[in-house]
A and B are shown apart, each in its own frame.
Chain A
Amino acid sequence: MPKITRVFMLLILTIFSCCCCNISHNSSSKKQTVTIAGSTSVMPFTEKLAEHFMIDHPEFIIDVQGGGSTAGIQACMNNTVNIGMSSRQLKEAEMVLNEIVICYDGVIIVAHPQNPIKDLSLKQVRDIFNGKIKNWKDLGWVNRRIDAVSREEGSGTRGSFEELVMGSEDIDDGIMVQDSNGSVKEVIATDPYAIGYISLGLVDSNVKAISVDGIEPNLKNIKNKKYKVIRPFIFLSKERLQEDSKTFVDYVLSNDGQKILIKEGLISIYD
């Protein structure tokens, strides 16, 4: 019996020491770390940029987290992170932070691919989300309740949506809420009667983009400013960027970085 317990203890110690070895191997005291957090819209793209950046700069570690634009702004103000990500314009109280626009993105109204509706007026979209239009039959489809999905209050995507589409009207209380772009997209991709808004960069064949006021939400219309629901992706820092952060941000703003963003479906700052 004691033998088996001893073997077991040895096993646990081995696992633990492996982890500690890993720690010293990848010890971040030897590496330069940049911590970034914020908008769930910006996050997947920052992560992609970080992946490419770290291939060329293996001594760097770029940590990316989500949480939402407001969370990122707060984290930046509290010095919890080096760089904050936001997908909406800053409010007055938040403008103490340094803003660096890294690209532009559109907020796209999306529905399930089976949904036959191709276009909605801005007013119709507004009325869906403030609860006035509750049934698809009022829009020319079947007699079935509209499953509208929104983002949580601190979301930059919601902030931009409220500013550019809702105007002064509130989003209705009875509308479902999900806490990231990805989860909104999941709901819409699986529910034929759902409608919501997500980032342009996330639109793919699983959802269907809906034109607003006849304008198709594609890159061309965003670049020539015909499609109006556009917002910037912003990197934020509290004081001037530290050296490590600056290296990464320079990469993001460089041609290489912007090429990656363009490939993902976003709009470069140089367009």
Chain B
Amino acid sequence: MIKKYRFNKEHLVRAILTVFALSSLLFLFLIFIFILFEGLPLFLKIGLNKIILGFKWAPTKDSFGIFPMVVSSFLVTFGALVIGAPLGLSCAIYLSEYSGKKTKMFLKPALELLAGIPSVVYGFLGVIYIVPLVRNYLGGSGFSLLSTSIVLGVMILPTIISISFDAIVSVPKTYREGSFAMGATKWQTIYKVIIPSAKSGILASFILGMGRAIGETMAVIMIAGNALKIPTSILDPLRTLTGNIALELAYATGDHRLSLFSTGVVLLVIIMILNYIANFGIKRKVLK
């Protein structure tokens, strides 16, 4: 009789867990499907080309070209990488190869704190300090590609540092020892042996950093100036895909609203591709 009781309880538990799992999966795919559902029809109605390659965004006049914003999003992401990748990689190398236990104990929590600071705080500090700096010493209004890249570069540092660090640290000790045994200096070991071995993990960190930068919204609308043209210099203002959604979300209706979902689909696709490449890179390294 006791056996029967246990059997029922297990079944109940399994049923409850299945419900939990199914409902959370339902929630998750709800948003996926909703965005696709609302975003795809406009592509079919107006044509992929007119939207993604269209130059004019004037949704109240039925013009849904998001090309300038696609370019701006990529420019800002690339700029963030230019600033964040070298600095981040150097820090990761420093953390793994040069720092002692005490420094590590201090640097790691510092990094986590940096990662935890909300993006609006970054945006605010960017407006107060970076924008006037750019305006006074380089020209333009300060609300520019340059300012946005600087702030985004700092924001993606923790991502790049921690994932690169993991990649570098997982290079087998024997590689290092073999290199030293052959008389190489520390730096020669690093750039000839360690970095090439950790290459795919490091690249993955860059790509994940890109994913983070391209999805950033609040800091960007505070700093980038939100102009609709493709920037011709790094001192020009620009509007990213995310910024556009945030600015127009509250009042868009009809086709205009659908076009925001279409923008969301574009963002989703870009980020899924980036994630896939990054994970592929990390897995490849493991397989090696």
Q: Is the CB of A176 within 8 A of B143?
A: yes
Q: Is B50 an interface residue (CB 8 A)?
A: no
| Contact among B141, B239, B247 with A191 in the assembled complex (CB-CB below 8 Å) | B141
Provide the residues of chain A in CB contact with B140, threshold 8 Å: 145, 147
Q: Which among A173, A175, A191 has the highest number of chain B CB atoms within 10 Å?
A: A173
Query: Which residues does chain B contribute within 8 Å of A47, judged by CB atoms?
Result: none
Contact A176 B237 (CB under 8 A): yes
1/0 contact string of A178-203 vs chain B (CB within 8 Å): 11000000010011011000000000
Tier of interface size on chain A: 20 to 34
Whether B132 and A190, one on each chain, are in contact in the complex, defined by CB atoms closer than 8 angstroms, is: yes
B226 nearest in chain A by CB position: A177
- A154 adjacent to B228 (CB under 8 Å): no
Residue pair A179, B221 in contact (C-beta under 8 Å) = yes
On B, residues with C-beta under 8 Å from A are 56, 58-60, 68, 131-132, 135, 139-143, 221, 225-229, 236-237, 239, 246-248, 250-253
CA distance A71 to B228 in the complex (A): 21
B60 x A153 contact (CB < 8 A):
yes
Q: Does A99 contact B (CB under 8 A)?
A: no
Q: A67-B250, A145-B140 in contact; A191/B135 too (CB < 8 A)?
A: yes
Question: Are B251 and A71 interface neighbours, CB within 8 A?
Answer: yes
Which of A68, A173, A187, A193 contacts B251 (CB under 8 A)?
A: A68
Structural contact, B248 and A173, CB atoms closer than 8 A: no
A206, CB-defined interface residue at 8 Å: no
**Is A74 located at the chain interface by the 8 A CB criterion?**
yes
Distance of B136 from chain A, by nearest CB (Å): 10
Complex alpha-carbon distance, A194 and B141, angstroms: 8
Q: Within 8 Å of chain B (Cβ to Cβ): is A70? A: yes
User: Within 8 Å CB of A216, what residues of B?
Assistant: none
Given A67-B250, A152-B247, A154-B251, A174–B141 Cβ distance below 8 Å?
Answer: no
Report A79 CB to chain B, min CB distance, Å.
14
B253 touches A74 (CB 8 A): yes
Name the distance in Å between A169's Cβ and chain B's nearest Cβ. Answer: 13
Interface residues of A in 141-173 (CB under 8 A from B): 145, 147, 152-154, 170, 173
- A71-B141 CB under 8 A given contacts A153-B60, A176-B237, A178-B226: no
Within the complex, the shortest CB–CB distance from B75 to chain A, in Å, comes to 15
Nearest 9 A/B pairs, CB to CB:
A154-B251, A70-B251, A71-B250, A147-B141, A71-B251, A177-B226, A173-B228, A67-B250, A176-B225
- Alpha-carbon gap, A73 to B250, bound state (A): 10
Kindly provide the distance from the CB of A163 to the nearest chain B CB, expressed in whole angstroms: 13
B248 touching A154, Cβ below 8 Å: yes
- Known A-B contacts A178-B226, A191-B142; the reply to A153 vs B59 at CB < 8 A is yes
Q: Which residues of A lie under 8 Å from residue B251 when comparing CB positions?
A: 67-71, 73-74, 153-154
CA A187 to CA B140, docked complex, whole Å? 13
Q: Which residue of B lies closest to A66 (CB)?
A: B250
Let me know if A193 and B141 touch, CB within 8 A.
Answer: yes
Report whether B143 and A174 are in contact in the complex, using a CB–CB cutoff of 8 Å: no
Q: Could you list some 9 contacts between A and B, CB below 8 A?
A: A67-B251, A145-B139, A145-B140, A153-B251, A170-B58, A174-B229, A190-B131, A191-B142, A193-B141
